[in-house]
Structure 1
Amino acid sequence: MTLNTTLANDKLVQTKKLQQLLAYLNQSSPFYQQLFKGNRVDISTIKSLADLQILPFTTKEDLQQRNNDFVCVSRDQVIEYASTSGTLGSPVTIALTENDLNRLAINEYNSFACADGSATDIYQLMLTLDRQFMAGIAYYMGLRKMGAGIIRLGPGVPSLQWETIQRLKPTAIVAVPSFILKLIAFAKDHGIDLNQSSVKKAVCIGENIRNTDFSYNILGKKITDAWDIQLYSTYASTEMQTAFTECSEGHGGHLQPDLLIVELLDDNNQPVPPNTPGEVTITTLGVEGMPLLRYKTGDICMYHDEPCGCGRTSLRLSPIIGRKKQMIKFKGTTLYPPALFDLLNEIEEVLDFVVEVYPNEVGLDEVLLHLLPTDQTEATDRNIRANLQARLRVSPGIKYITQPEIQKMQFPEASRKAIKFIDKRV
């Protein structure tokens, strides 16, 4: 099959599923029924993917304010309730049916296969598997579908992670990259030879390990310099119920065109060309409980549409450049948290951090860095400040804190993942 034929088939599948979605929303979704009526949308006029631009958007605020109106099924059809983490406001509950759970399993089966997984692998899951965390259940079901071995160990506790690795010999881990650094530090402190372990690959979740040119960022470099391990980056959200996962080429997360339509839009809601930052806007395909149409994620990425070296022809997304609502305008400089994180990870004198943004008395953005330093000396302080000034050209506020203090900031009660950005502007 030629490249053009494959792409044409993908578009045909997406167009057919889009038309099915519109009919389903028009019949079953209180929110979209009202949205279509209010915007005088005639769904019969949507004949192609290009016609998507006629349709209105869905926002995070819509989901937060009218959560129940997005549910398209009766309560007895809901099998699982997941929720967002609430990073950008109040959490949103996502209702999943049996079909949605099956779709979720297929999504992660495809993702692990893309990341060179197979039934011969054993995966140690170093992540939350409770607290309504969709990703945890998705990884578990995808690996079950693949037939791989699964070790459900949960997050944290490097000592227990290494004891289990040495005892059960997993070939792969699923973990947050910054936690992999803690595994590396523990191994070095306790005489564990990383490269003699059974673990040969890691599926990285929740944090960037690459720059937008796909080279490793400082986090990715620190991991791979210490551990000869293959890293696979992922991008997903609870709302989209789908993941973009890298293959071994490491050149972006692959779209699953039968599960999702993705648009990247500029500030005027127009499509951007390849290699140009735009807001990731998604339309879910095949979702039964809470499907979404043109949902604006707030994430800024770029896309690449040339065929990948792995042979796949699907669109690929770059690492997240930033989140639209988290953009910081500080002393005339535009900053995104991921870029700040990369810089702080690079400074040897900084062991850990939390970035806080708040409005000053005239409503402008101020940045305060809560830092856990290697030591409390003047030389360390000078080096940290010099690094920040040289790289940022501006000087944010700095507050040095202790390990217990940063632990409390990063993991408040009921938190599912480490919080490294606190936005007090809203």
Structure 2
Amino acid sequence: MYSHDIAFATKTEIRALQEKKLQETIQYLAANSPFYQDLFTTNGIQPGTICTLEDLQKLPVTTKEDLQLRNWDFLSVPKSKIAEYVASSGTMGSPVTIALTENDLSRLSYNEYCSFLSAGGSKEDIYQLMLTLDRQFMAGIAYYLGIRQLGAGLVRVGPGAPFLQYETIRRVNPTVIIAVPSFLVKLVEYAEANQVSLAATSVKTAICIGESIRHEDGRLNRLGQRIAGSWPIRLVSTYASTEMQTAFTECSAGKGGHLLADLLVLELLDDNNQPVAPGQPGEVTITTLGVEGMPLLRYKTGDICRQIDEPCACGRNTPRLTSVIGRKKQMIKLKGTTFYPPALYDVLHEVAEITDYVVELQTNEFGTDEVIVHIHVNEPSEPLSHKIREFLRSRLRVVPDLVFATAAELHHMQFPEGGRKAQKLLDKRLYTI
């Protein structure tokens, strides 16, 4: 059903496979998806006329709001065929449930198997998972299944607990760790505080999930530099979402995450849902291929990226995505300056005194954006506050409000109602962009 070798085929062969799978997907949706049956009927669309990748432009897009409002209308199989229920993290609103069949779980496994191969993994590796497998978290089960398909060793430690992570590294000698980059920084800080020799560990590679470690041009950002500067390991960037059930993972070249062409059709769209010009930033929009439970057609993720079409040194002929520039609805306009949260995060990571932070967005009495940065430092002081403000001004040209917070206060803000993933951004604006 799937072949990892398709990435090394010619662009003509890749396109032919995608169009064949797209036609199968359209027919499947027309026969089984209540949401897309309504969409085709309402818009007078004949499914048989959608044959090429360009034909996708004849179709309306699907949004996160559609999923939230009509979650179960996307279900395309009887509930008796559902093998597992997972949920999105709800970063941009209420979480949505995604139902997977046994075939979907096999597809998810294949997806990560390809990702691990792209990252240079093999059955000789031992992987240490530093993330949760519970709380309806798709990534945890995806990595677990992919490692199983790869035939490599695996130790499940879960998130947090730096001492336990290092003790497990010492006992098991993993070669690859999978974690959120900001947690890797905490491991580095723990090692530095406890005289742990990072260079002496068995770890050779870290697969970084959930947060960007690179700029658009592939250079490590400050978060990536903080890790790499203290831990001599290879950092591999990934990009994925629960809804797409697929990952874009870097190869050894480290120049963007590769599309798995037999699992997704990729578009980058502008505000009018038209394809952006080559090399321009656009909203990542995906059509799933081979999904049974809840297939998606032209689903706008909200993430802004650029597409890289130049040949890759690894020999794969699939398009690549840069790191996420920002999220469509998270764009900030502060005192006439427009930027995305990752630009602010990058600046905060450059300030050595800041050990943790949360960015809060609000709408002020004049209806414009207000940005409050809650930071934790070991020794708060007015001179330090002034230093950080001036640094923010020099890098962003504007200065958000700065508030010192305790570690406990930040933890409460980052994990509201016992959430499973730390929230660096709290968007409380009345109107999002």
Q: Does the pair score TM above 0.5? A: yes
Match of 1:91 in 2: 95
Q: Which runs of 5+ in 2 are unaligned?
A: none
Match of 2:173 in 1: 169
Match of 1:362 in 2: 366
Kindly report structure 1 stretches of 4+ aligned residues shifted beyond 3 Å: 1-5
1:39 and 2:43 matched: yes
> RMSD of aligned C-alpha atoms?
1.4
**1:136-151 equivalent positions in 2, closer than 5 A:** 136-151=140-155
Contact 2:8–2:317 (Cα < 8 Å) also in 1? no
2:264 aligned to 260, 264, 274, which one? 260
The Cα shift of 1:382 comes to: 1.6
Deviations 1:156-182, CA, capped at 9 Å, x for gaps? 010110011001111110001111111
Give the 3-state SS of the residue equivalent to 2:343 in structure 1: helix
**1:197-276 equivalent positions in 2, closer than 5 A:** 197-276=201-280
Contact 1:349–1:384 (Cα < 8 Å) also in 2? no
Match of 2:287 in 1: 283
Deviations 1:95-130, CA, capped at 9 Å, x for gaps? 000000000000000001100111000000001110
Residue 116 to residue 397, structure 1, CA distance change in 2 (3 Å): same
The two structures have a TM-score, normalised by structure 1, of 0.98
Contact 1:206–1:235 (Cα < 8 Å) also in 2? yes
The Cα shift of 1:327 comes to: 0.6
What CA distance in whole angstroms lies between the structure 2 residues aligned with 1:30 and 1:219?
Answer: 43
Deviations 1:358-400, CA, capped at 9 Å, x for gaps? 1011211100111112311222112111101111111211111
How many pairs align? Answer: 426
Aligned-residue identity in percent: 60
What CA distance in whole angstroms lies between the structure 1 residues aligned with 2:327 and 2:6?
Answer: 37
Match of 1:376 in 2: 380
Aligned amino acid, residue 212 of structure 1? E
Give the 3-state SS of the residue equivalent to 1:179 in structure 2: helix
Give the 3-state SS of the residue equivalent to 1:343 in structure 2: helix
Aligned amino acid, residue 246 of structure 2? T
The Cα shift of 1:5 comes to: 6.4
What CA distance in whole angstroms lies between the structure 2 residues aligned with 1:274 and 1:148?
Answer: 38
Match of 2:138 in 1: 134
Give the 3-state SS of the residue equivalent to 2:312 in structure 1: coil
The Cα shift of 1:62 comes to: 0.3
Match of 2:406 in 1: 402
Deviations 1:230-254, CA, capped at 9 Å, x for gaps? 0000000000000000011110000
What CA distance in whole angstroms lies between the structure 2 residues aligned with 1:58 and 1:403?
Answer: 39
Contact 2:7–2:14 (Cα < 8 Å) also in 1? no
1:308 and 2:312 matched: yes
Aligned amino acid, residue 309 of structure 2? D
1:117 and 2:121 matched: yes
The Cα shift of 1:309 comes to: 0.7
Residue 180 to residue 2, structure 1, CA distance change in 2 (3 Å): closer
What CA distance in whole angstroms lies between the structure 2 residues aligned with 1:117 and 1:414?
Answer: 34
Contact 2:87–2:96 (Cα < 8 Å) also in 1? yes
